[in-house]
Structure 1
């Protein structure tokens, strides 16, 4: 059986327990908010790319050359920024919609009944953190791997060690179940998550772009692995 841990911090007590069906709304709200937090960071990152700066300079310049109007040039910058903002929102929204219709549609079925697990961190009767895990279907030869999914902590409860405790819970579950590795994928722009995983012993194993969109915004997925000692 997986072990559970109770953690307390000077700011607020919390404990980690397995997911229950009554948690569904709170879990989905936390998941959606966590994903949407990445939209502003993606937009800011996009504005720093040379191709974006070229676009922001090129479009108004073309407008001045074609129309001779600096007003139209200024308006064109506004519309380019608006389009870029819509551009960065779409893939995050699509990812959330996909999850809500697949694994997050029925967490008990997708995780608890599929040889994986899902946990919530609770503080003051409120779900403030989540994480799930599932066996990797086709692991490398000779390895038994568990994949970590959907780590998220409410913005009001960060800095209390909740994310680290949730990751430790997955690692302990993996050890108890005889897995050789815990693996996961995150993106370069999820800097807080990346720093957390690396500090806990995960190591980079691969880097790739999930789609042309992510290549355009220069946000590759980083594959991470945490090897576990033999039982």
Structure 2
């Protein structure tokens, strides 16, 4: 296992952080595409449209072209939400990480450095509209470079957020993930996060049947106080 250490974000990390985040998001496109292909409505369209065209026109070529066109469309559909989210994040909180995460008390952004290179990232911001009596911190943008997967960086970064939250007096840490991130979901749940709800944040996610999963980690003191 390569040696690594976790430290606060510095301005010199900016480009690497943005690149690492963007690459991590793009990796989800193939999984989304495979998920779409397994949907019953997709199978029906991929079988029904070419057969209908073949019966009407008698052309195998037209049927084949229609299937290829449909597959290209589905790939673009799978690509759209991830590309859109990346653009939004790069233009908002990740455009000025120091201002977004390091200029106020109770938030932070960390990088995991391995052999002098940023190999993982994670950020945390307070939840503005937390339930009454609960102080929540939200984990954002956990990402580990592909070549550094399996080295424990993801777990170390999540643990850093939990330790920070406890030190800052937060009662809970929350985050969002999806069914398309099974490895991340397994990691979070193995560290004590509990699923509290599933929902579709927009029409595209509902169309693709990709719900967002809300997870929460409650510190023991908060759990005991709620009993």
TM > 0.5:
yes
2: distance between equivalents of 1:66 and 1:42?
Answer: 32
Aligned to 1:7: none
**1:184 aligned to 2:175?**
yes
Verify: 1:130 aligned to 2:121, yes or no.
Answer: yes
> How many pairs were matched up?
221
Deviation at 1:71, TM superposition (A): 1.6
Give distance in 1, aligned partners of 2:186 and 2:40.
Answer: 26
The 3-state SS of whatever aligns with 1:62 is: helix
Give 5+ residue unaligned stretches, structure 1.
1-10
CA positional deviation for 1:139 = 0.5
After TM superposition, the structure 1 = structure 2 runs for residues 197-216 of structure 1, keeping only pairs within 5 Å, are 197-216=188-207
1:90 equivalent to 2:80? Answer yes
Provide Cα deviations, 1:44-87, integer angstroms capped at 9, x if missing partner: 11111101100101110121122111221111111100111111
After superposition, the C-alpha distances for 1:176-200 in whole angstroms (9 at most, x for unaligned) are 0000000001111011110100000
1:171 aligns with 2:162: yes
Query: Is 1:44–2:34 an aligned residue pair?
Result: yes
Q: Secondary structure at the match of 2:221?
A: coil
Q: Residues 154-193 of structure 1, C-alpha deviation per residue, up to 9 Å, x if partnerless?
A: 0100111110000000000000000000000111101111
Report the aligned-residue RMSD: 1.0
Report if aligned partners of 1:185, 1:221 keep a CA contact under 8 Å in 2. yes
Helix, strand or coil for the counterpart of 2:165? helix
Secondary structure of the corresponding residue to residue 128 of structure 2: coil
| 1:63-102 alignment, distance < 5 Å | 63-102=53-92
1:117 aligns with 2:115: no
Q: Shift of residue 114 of structure 1?
A: 3.0
Mapped partners of 2:74, 2:129: distance in 1 = 37
1:32 counterpart residue number: 22
TM-score normalised to the size of structure 2?
A: 0.95
Q: C-alpha separation between the residues in 1 aligned to 2:87 and 2:153?
A: 26
Question: Structure 1 length normalisation: TM-score?
Answer: 0.94
User: Any stretches of 5+ residues in structure 2 without a counterpart?
Assistant: 223-227
Task: Output the CA distance in 2 between the equivalents of 1:197 and 1:114.
Answer: 26
SS in 2 for 1:149: strand
Structure 1 counterpart SS, 2:220: coil
Q: Secondary structure at the match of 2:134?
A: coil
For 1:161, the equivalent position in structure 2 comes to 152
Partner of 2:225: none
